[in-house]
Structure 1
Amino acid sequence: MFGFFKKTGPGTLVAAAFIGPGTVTVCTLAGVGFGYALLWAMALSVTATVVLQEMAARIGIITGMGLAEVIKAQLRHRFLKIPVIVLVFSAVVIGNAAYEAGNLSGASLGMAGVFPEELIRFYPLLTGMVAFVLLYAGSYKVLERCMTVMVLVMSLSFICAAVMTGPDMGEVLQGLFIPQVPEGSILTIIGLIGTTVVPYNLFLHASLVRERWSGAGDLKAARKDTLLFVLLGGLVSTAIIITAAGNGLTGVENVMDMAKGLEPVYGRFAVYFIGTGLFAAGITSSITAPLAAAYVANGCFGWNASLKDTRFRLVWMIVIGTGVLFASAGFNPIELILFAQVANGILLPVVALFLWWAVNRTGVLGRYKNTLVQNLLSGGIILVTVILGIRSILKVLGWGE
């Protein structure tokens, strides 16, 4: 067990970031609304995540800089650099401040499923305090170990819940390998991609690999770490869809409705499994979202700050504080979370294009830049995200299906 902990790296935080309340919510809605039909979209999302996160990690290891710093350094024209840096800062730092409300709300829902529901108004503050303490400690190793434990807890929780439903494996395999787009499912598909291929994770990963590794000799270890934990995260997301599809619900007002749907057959254990998993998902994302925002601000402003730097801490404090404020204000958590995931799906093509541009520049990666095969694979993924993003905008405007 201790050997496993020694081999883990930033992949644990990447998985912890994308298996948040948004993942639980969107996967639940996918399972309840469309059964196993959208499992292929999750498989596509996991593949895309592995490819894009590997590129982000490669940039961090080879250049010794974060993605925001690389973009800033490579954009030499002032009239192009300033708008791009403003866009990146706004999308990640300001966006994560709003996204944090969904993380804290999700963790609170999980706590309410296990602990007294009457105290739910205090749970966002309690969750925010836990995130504050872990980030204020300013130790990358502490964060990594805590995230590893929480990822394993949520994995066990949701996989056990999926097994409880006794799914038809033939239908599961059909959903995984035969793409279907049921009527009214396009925004859910975009949500599944947006909650898995998280734009801010690309910035977070490029920055975190510098805390763990340095130099081209560590690329193999970084790739293994990325593959292991992204696949584990994908397994968790798949388990949530299977659980939601197999519990017989026709609608959900609250993520914990999924647990309540299983309770008549499997007893209180179902609520404990899903409640614990949802809390773990919420608390991990409540830590990684502010951390990513601080790293992006660090790169955009050229601070070169450490985890204990006052400016670095101030950014994540603002993100957590904003999240606690909105999560405690009585907004519907499921609406906050779903909105954030669709927004992520629209933002992803923009961030992915910047990443693709950077990873193909000889001045950035030298001989470690993308190969033809890597470009074909990543280019296809980005093209899909662009098409889905456009369809999402048309759908919101009422011009889509």
Structure 2
Amino acid sequence: MKQKARFTMGPAALVAAAFIGPGTVVTASLAGANFGYALLWALVFSVVATMILQEMAARLGVVTQQGLGENIRAGISRPWLRRLVVLLIFAAVIIGNSVYQGGNISGARLGLADLLPIDGQYIPVVLGALAAVVLWQGSYKVIEKVLIGLVLLMSVAFLATFLLTQPDWGALFSGLLIPSVPSGGILMVVALIGTTVVPYNLFLHSSSCAQKWQSANDLGAARKDIYISVPLGGLISMAIVGTAASAFFGKAITIQGAADLGQALQPLFGDSATTFMALGLFAAGLSSSLTAPLASAYALSGVLGYSNNLKDKKFRATWFTILLVGVVIASLGLKPIEVIIFAQVANGLLLPFMALFLVWVCNQPRLAQHRNSLLQNILGGLVCAVAIGLGARSIASAMGWL
């Protein structure tokens, strides 16, 4: 008799914590401020696409008891092709996350600075130390609990801020259900999808699922985790879009980033809105500060063949290096444009490749009856097509062609 899957919020919450970072807050804020509720449908699509890919990643991790990195290493036999893939992963995931980690810590710094009377100069070091303490524990359960807590904090903070702004519910549901692209909105649509469908989450999720669950009998629990946690992350993004749309669209107030959004809410909706926004921004920055180094360590350990044990020296060295680079960037206010451009190009190449590889590997005989169905392959193919479009846009944008 088949045992009923028991739901426990877990690895998919790490995925939600990873894609709701300061970059998402900024992108969603600008989408709402500039286009109102019109682009909310893009987030609906993003959530569905993310669930399709993350279900494959989770299934791969649970059934094979290996992460995506290990499956890449096992599945590519040609040495030159394997070296190329390792180079791409190193460029996009390792170098890219090192640079973006500065943005994660900076975002958490902005939120904390609005909440506590602390000298902003020292906040990045404090945040980096806090993230290091959590990761150094070497306990998946501890990391999972911390990140679930941060996701729940973000949910309360951003949803409360959204409700305080008294949204136009008719326009909101229209934006959710009726796809439209206002003039000048196509790049913002791509940006909203790109902040949710993140390649390093495939490494993070598959490896996390392999650690949490030990057999294919747990696939039901893994799927329930995805169907709850990923939409919750999408709901947070939608709340941020709605907040900016309610507060700023069509009004003589402009914002350029998340910090401006929090400060501009105060005279309009009072201290409560500003406080909730600051809490959300702090949680978003800290959660991404934990997941980006962790995902990088999982990816590199998998493709290079060293242990992904959280207490392994090489594993710790990987995430610590990325965390340290982020602290330095946030502390010094550096803007390494050239490195960011390089990371964008590499990430644009990696995302469609990872999506295609994931579909391919989920059709391999080693998954037996858990291989992709025809419907899963069709849906995966559609997401891959979007990923290729995103990759092309990312590269074109980085090269200044857009």
The 1-side partners of 2:229 and 2:344 are apart by 21
Letter in 2 for 1:146: V
Give, in angstroms, the shift of residue 277 of structure 1. 0.5
Q: Deviations over 1:173-215 (max 9, x none)?
A: 1111111222322332222112111110000000001221011
TM-score by structure 2 length? 0.92
| Contact kept? 2:51, 2:226, Cα under 8 Å | yes
The change in CA–CA distance for 1:174 and 1:347 in structure 2 (over 3 A counts) is farther
The answer as to whether partners of 2:161 and 2:276 remain within 8 angstroms in 1 is yes
Partner of 1:321 in structure 2?
324
The residue aligned with 1:389 is 391
Q: Does the C-alpha gap of structure 1 residues 136 and 89 become closer, same or farther in structure 2, counting only changes over 3 Å?
A: same
Q: How does 1:242-281 map to 2 (within 5 A)?
A: 242-248=242-248, 250-281=253-284
Deviates more, 1:286-295 or 1:87-96: 87-96
8 Å CA contact retained: 1:131, 1:286: yes
Residue number in structure 1 paired with 2:298: 295
Structure 1 position 49, deviation (Å)? 0.7
Q: 1:396 to 1:310 in 2, by over 3 A?
A: closer
| 8 Å CA contact 1:254, 1:334 repeated in 2 | no
Give me the whole-angstrom Cα distance separating, in 2, the residues matched to 1:334 and 1:179.
Answer: 34
Decide whether the 8 Å contact of 1:349 with 1:389 is kept in 2.
Answer: yes
Q: What fraction of aligned residue pairs are identical, expressed as a percent? A: 49
Structure 1 segment 236-247 matched on structure 2, within 5 A: 236-247=236-247
1:62 aligns with 2:63: yes
Per-residue CA deviations over 1:311-339 (Å, capped at 9, x if unaligned) read 11111110000001111122469999999
SS of the aligned residue for 2:195 comes to helix
Amino acid at match of 1:300: V
Change (3 A) 1:82 1:394: closer
d(CA) in 2 for partners of 1:342, 1:39: 27
Matches within 5 A, 1:52-131: 52-116=53-117, 119-131=119-131
Deviations 1:255-278 (A, max 9, x none): 122122221232111111000000
Match of 2:150 in 1: 150
Partner Cα distance (2:47, 2:338) in 1: 24
- The 1:82/1:100 distance shift into structure 2, 3 A limit, reads same
Matched, 1:366 2:372: no
TM-superposed CA distance for 1:397, in Å, is: 4.8
- Mapping of residues 186-197 of structure 1, within 5 Å: 186-197=186-197
| Structure 1 CA distance for aligned equivalents of residues 337 and 120 of structure 2 | 15
Q: Deviations over 1:209-242 (max 9, x none)?
A: 1221011100000000011000110110000000
Equivalence for 1:161: 161
Q: 1:225–1:179: structure 2 CA closer, same or farther, 3 Å change rule?
A: same
Residues of 1 paired with 2:346 and 2:82: CA distance? 24
Residues 123 and 30 (structure 1), Cα distance of their counterparts in 2 relative to 1, 3 Å cut: same
Provide closer, same or farther for how the CA distance between residues 95 and 391 of structure 1 changes in structure 2, counting only shifts above 3 A.
closer
Letter of the 1:191 partner, please give it: A
- Contact 1:193-1:345 within 8 A present in 2 as well: no
Matched residue type, 1:185: G
Superposition deviation, residue 94 in structure 1:
1.8
Partner Cα distance (1:184, 1:372) in 2: 37
Quick one: which amino acid aligns to residue 281 of structure 1?
A
Query: For residues 254 and 336 of structure 1, what CA distance do their matches in structure 2 show?
Result: 21
Whole-angstrom distance in 2 between the partners of 1:333 and 1:175: 36
Specify the alignment match of 2:176 in structure 1: 176
Tell me the alpha carbon deviations over residues 131-159 of structure 1, each in whole angstroms, 9 at most, x when there is no partner. Answer: 00000011111111111111111100000
Partner of 1:138: 138
Deviation, structure 1 residue 392: 4.3
Aligned to 1:204: 204
Query: Paired residue for 1:377?
Result: 379
> 1:156, 1:256 → 2: CA distance?
19
Partners of 2:329 and 2:335 within 8 A in 1: no
> Residue 157 of structure 1 aligns to which amino acid in structure 2?
A
How much has 1:290 moved relative to structure 2? 0.4
Q: What secondary structure sits across from 1:98 in the alignment?
A: helix
Contact 2:345–2:398, Cα closer than 8 Å, also in 1 = no
* Letter matched to residue 234 of structure 2: G
CA deviation after TM superposition for structure 1 residue 345, in Å: 6.0
Counting only pairs closer than 5 Å after superposition, residues 278-357 of structure 1 correspond to structure 2 as: 278-331=281-334, 347-357=350-360
Asked whether the equivalents of residues 64 and 210 of structure 1 are also in contact (C-alpha less than 8 Å), the reply is yes
For 1:192 and 1:113, locate their aligned partners in 2 and report how far apart those are by CA, in whole Å.
Answer: 26
Structure 1 segments unaligned to the other structure (5+ residues) = none
Q: Which residue of 2 aligns with 1:219?
A: 219
Counterpart Cα distance in 2 of 1:219 and 1:375: 18
Alpha carbons of structure 1 residues 285 and 168: separation in structure 2 relative to 1, 3 Å: same
Contact in 1 for aligned 2:136/2:316 (Cα 8 Å) = yes
The alignment status of 1:24 with 2:19, answered yes or no, reads no
Counterpart residue type for residue 221 of structure 2: A
The answer to whether structure 1 residue 48 and structure 2 residue 49 are counterparts is yes
Q: Count matched residues.
A: 394
How far is 1:12 from its partner?
1.6
Q: Please tell me whether the aligned partners of residues 62 and 215 of structure 2 are also in contact (alpha carbons under 8 angstroms).
A: yes
Secondary structure at 1:196's aligned position in 2? coil
